[in-house]
Structure formats: structure tokens, C-alpha cells
Amino acid sequence: MANETFALRPQEHADLPIVLLVEDEPTTRQAMRVFLKTYGYASIEAPTVERAVQALSDGISAAVVDVQLAGDRSGLEVLTPLRLRPTLADIPVIVLTGGVLTDAEEALIEQQHAYVFYKPEACETTVSLLDRLTGGPSNRLGRSKPASAYLNECQRKDFLAQTQRETWWLQSSLASGLDYARADHILHRWVGVGGTLGFPEISRRALEIQSLLEEAGATTTDRLRNSVNEIARLCSEAAQAAVDSKPALTGVIDAIAGALMGKKIALVGFEAADAAWMAHALEQAQAFSRVVDPTDAGIGSHALEPFDLVAVAASPRLGAAARIGADAGAAISLPLLLVGGAEAIAEQTPMPHDAAHDFLITPCSPEEFVLRASRLLAEPGTPPRWRGEASGDGPRRVIVADDDLTITTLVKAVLQNYEFECHIARDGGEALELTRTLRPDALILDVNMPQFDGFEVLDALKNDSVTAGVAVVLLSGRQQEADIMRGFALGADDYVVKPFSPMELIARVKRLLRKRVA
């Protein structure tokens, strides 16, 4: 977005120290934003030198500047205008670099009293250095876990997939003639984003390749090829590890035995490997499946009539082709399950029909896929029409019940960013009182809380005619299928397992509220 402007709304962050972040890579900006907020800072973000200079203001407490920005401009160009501003002359400035600095760059950094920080390092290390330089915010948030727990897993997956594609391009280019400008851009991204998302070895290998590009000869080409192959291997291993470590609802297929028995599921637009594990999971649940190619000329609602549910791959690559499958299912009001990365899911929701629908963020386990499919088929055809008593035409009201200050701070910030009215409950008793008093549209309810746990709160609310209609999303670190199934049995509408993606949590709340006023 060429005209994108990054600015703060001061009234929301008046009590937080403000950090100017000069970074052109969107993934790194987003990750740094999460870490800064978690550690008690606010941020002004600028992707270019021009935007950074425009953003200079007296309220800035520190700056983090990446040397290498898109195009020919260097982030170091921000240093002089920053220091010329009297109120910013002495603030701490951290300069991030993924390569060797020139003598002129080192001289400028020393002259402007900035600190050099070499990539690859995770955002948490950068913010820790910022803490040491500034003394840290006076209103530091309490944290029960590192901020890295809140980074979006889909960002990691997308980075690995894109990096693998780029390794293929580099390999072919080494044989046919390397485009050095594009290669340098790719390596810059690997160095910066790799460290940001927790893949330091990929970043280190990318730094080695940057050095090799400055050499020449057949031996260098062989070394480049080997290094690129090594990065491809690291990506493959990391991607598989992400799938293997995904919290699995172990035994969920047994827990819902019979719910999918004999049901027919259409798998639309999936890659062969994904379709294979989905078909195997459905077979274990005694359901039938068939792979449907959305690009077939004959696909339409008639082709999906024999099925009970349609699972559709949501991916930027498939784009409109996958949408054909969704529209075909909508034409005959089939339950629809979208499966894909967070960004692709966001682009293809809300669904353009009134049938039951749900989504599943990848990577996911077979058990979670089966659970979502079974829940969709079990939902009533006409969802209840509920809206909080006090909502009217104003913002939707949500209560977040969790005793973890970091969780509530992050969730509240995300909800408010989407114009929800948000209230916080610190324990089960307060959750019950607030829900009965405020009559919210939705309650995000943690299972593990003092006084009354989430199950006790849920049971009390669903057995009270005043609060029985409130949409409840369970938020918990528990990974046993018994806890999830118990929550559904008590009347929970949905669940999210920690660590979670804020984007997924918001999407699940919006899905529930959209259904209840459809």
C-alpha cells in the first residue's frame, strides 16, 4: 500500500513510552508491534525514510531503525533529522543491520550516538536491549510467558512456504544467470524476517549467502548452491515440526464417535498431500470423502448435491477457483468449512450465505479437522437470534475473562481495534457479575481462573435465562479433548486453544455474532 500512513491515536497511548520503528518489511513490523505492546511500549511505524521524518514528534522516547530499506534509501538517513530535533537529540536509537557496515555508515552511527544491533536476533532480544537503554516502561505489564508465544503461527508457515519457493528460484537462477538485485532483496528478507519469526539458523545461512554473492567463480557457485539447498532443508524441517507440535485434541475421533458416521464430505481445491490426510482422518471417523477440483468446467451446485458438508481450501494461490467451490456449496445451503492460512481465511469470510459455516487455521491436526467438521454437521439449521440488551446500534460488547494480564491486555487491544466495546474480568466471580450486569454480545472465557473456573462460570450462565443466550468462546491452554467436549456439553459456542492467533480469536467472535443477528 504505497500511501499507507502509520500514526498513533495519542488518547489511546498517552501513558506509554513511544518507539519510532523504521522498517519496510511488514512481517517484521507486525511482530515488533506485538513485542513492543507486550513489553509496555507504543509504536509509530514508518516503512520509508520520508514517512519516518514526517512522523518525528516530541513524544518519541526511542527509535529502532533498519539500515536496509526497500529501494536505494538507507534507514540511516533518519538519524540526522532526528538528532536535529532538540527533544530527540538524546533519545536511545537502535540501528538494525543484517550485513557489514561501511566505514561511512559506522562513522555516521557513532556521530549520531546510536547503537548497532546485528541480525539475526528475535524481536524479544531487540526489545530487551531497548529496555536496558531506556530503563523500561514504568507501567510494565506483568508477563507469565514470553511475548513470542503470541506471534502468529500462520506468519511462520507463510514465511517458510515463501522461502522454499524462493530457494527454487535461486537454484534455477544460478544455472541460467542470477538477478543480483532480486537475490539481494530475497536475502535481506530471509535475514530480517527469519530472526524475527524464530528461525535464526535460516537468517545466519542467508548472511553467509550474502557474503558469497560478493565473490565469483565456479567454486563459489557450488557453495552458493549448497547453502541454498541447506536453507530449503531447514524450511522443510521447520514446517514439519510446526505440524507435529500443533496442539492436538488427542482421541477426539473416539470422543465424537458416530457424529460423522456415514456422512459424505467434499474436499474442494486441496493439494494432494492435504487431501490425503483429511481423507484418512474422515475414514477413521467412518465418514466418506471425495476430492473435487474447483477448476473443472462442470463443477456447480449439482456436483455437490450428494454431500453433507463441503471443505474448501482457502489460499491466495487458488483464489477465485476455491471460491467457486464455496459458491457451489452455498447454492444448495451446504455447511461449509474453510481451511487455510489466517490471511486467506480473512479474505474469504464472511460467507455469502446463511448455511452453517466455520473455518480452520492451518497448520492444524487431523483431530481438530474432524472436530470442526462434526460440530458443523451438529449445528441447528437456524441459529439463535441474540444481541446483547444494551448493544443497540452501538459497538458490540465483549467481556474477556482471564486472570493473565498479558492475555487480557492483548485481547482488549485487538478487540478495540475492531471497534468492540471491551470489559475485563479477572476471576470467575467477576465474570459472572459482569455478564449478568452488562448483558454482553459475547464472553471470551478462560478455563483456568481463580474463585470459579471457566466450566463453573459457563454452567451458571447457561442455566440462567438472563444470560443463557450470550455467545461464549472458551479460551484455554488445555489440550485434552475431554476439556473441549465438556465445554461444548455445557453450552460453549466455540473454543480457541492457547497460544492463539489474535486474528483467529477475532474471526471466531465475529462469526458467532454474525450468525446470531443474521
d(C-alpha 3, C-alpha 369), whole Å: 40
Q: b/e string for 15-33 if b means 16 or more Cβ within 10 A? A: ebbbbbbbbbbebbbebbb
- The edge-to-edge listing of strands for the beta sheet with 442-446 is 421-425, 397-401, 442-446, 471-476, 494-497
The mean predicted confidence, pLDDT, of the chain is 77
Tell me: the pLDDT tens digits for 321-360? 455 555 555 555 788 888 887 666 766 554 433 445 888 8
The single-letter DSSP state of residue 148 is G
d(C-alpha 26, C-alpha 196), whole Å: 11
3-state helix/strand/coil string of 448-485:
CCCCCCHHHHHHHHHCCCCCCCCEEEEEECCCCHHHHH
**If 0-12 CB within 10 Å is exposed, 13-18 middle and 19+ buried, where does residue 440 land?**
buried
Which residue type occupies 417? N
Weakest mean pLDDT among 50-54, 147-151, 385-389: 385-389
Q: What angle do CA 157, 160, 164 make, to 5 degrees?
A: 140
Res 386 pLDDT > 50? no
Confidence of residue 470 (pLDDT cuts 50, 70, 90): very high
Question: Would strands 309-314 and 264-268 be described as parallel, antiparallel, or unpaired?
Answer: parallel
Tell me: the pLDDT tens digits for 207-236? 888 778 777 555 678 888 888 888 888 888
d(C-alpha 186, C-alpha 196), whole Å: 15
CB 44 within 8 A of CB 61: no
**pLDDT over 70, % of the chain:** 74
pLDDT of residue 436: 93
pLDDT of residue 347: 63
Q: Greater confidence, 301 or 49?
A: 49
pLDDT of residue 92: 93
- State which of 13-17, 439-443, 512-516 shows the largest mean pLDDT: 439-443
Res 269 pLDDT > 90? no
Q: Which residues contact 80 (CB under 8 A, 6 or more apart)?
A: 108, 112
Domain 10-144 fold is Rossmann fold (3.40.50)
Angle at which helices 180-196 and 153-176 cross, to 10°: 160
For 36, other C-beta atoms within 10 Å of its C-beta total 26
Beta strands in 343-428 (DSSP E): 357-361, 397-401, 421-425
d(C-alpha 467, C-alpha 482), whole Å: 25
pLDDT of residue 443: 95
Residue 198 zone, left/alpha/beta (φ > 0; ψ -120 to 50; rest): left
CB hemisphere CA count around 233 (13 angstroms) = 8
Tell me: the pLDDT tens digits for 96-136? 887 677 888 889 999 999 988 876 666 767 777 888 888 87
Which residue type occupies 316? P
CB 367 within 8 A of CB 247: no
CB 267 within 8 A of CB 290: yes
Confidence of residue 276 (pLDDT cuts 50, 70, 90): confident
Domain 397-512 fold is Rossmann fold (3.40.50)
Which residue type occupies 468? A
CB 133 within 8 A of CB 113: no
Q: Which cell is 147 given? A: 511475548
Confidence of residue 150 (pLDDT cuts 50, 70, 90): very low
Angle at which helices 218-245 and 200-213 cross, to 10°: 170
pLDDT of residue 297: 45
Report field, pTM of the whole predicted structure over 0.75: no
- Closest by alpha carbon to 123, among 195, 223, 46? 195
Select the CATH number that applies to the domain covering 252-378 from these four: 3.40.50.2300, 1.10.10.410, 3.40.50.10800, 3.50.50.60: 3.40.50.2300
The single-letter DSSP state of residue 75 is G
d(C-alpha 388, C-alpha 438), whole Å: 8
Confidence of residue 245 (pLDDT cuts 50, 70, 90): low
pLDDT of residue 357: 81
Q: Greater confidence, 4 or 471?
A: 471
pLDDT of residue 49: 92
R_g over Cα of the chain: 25
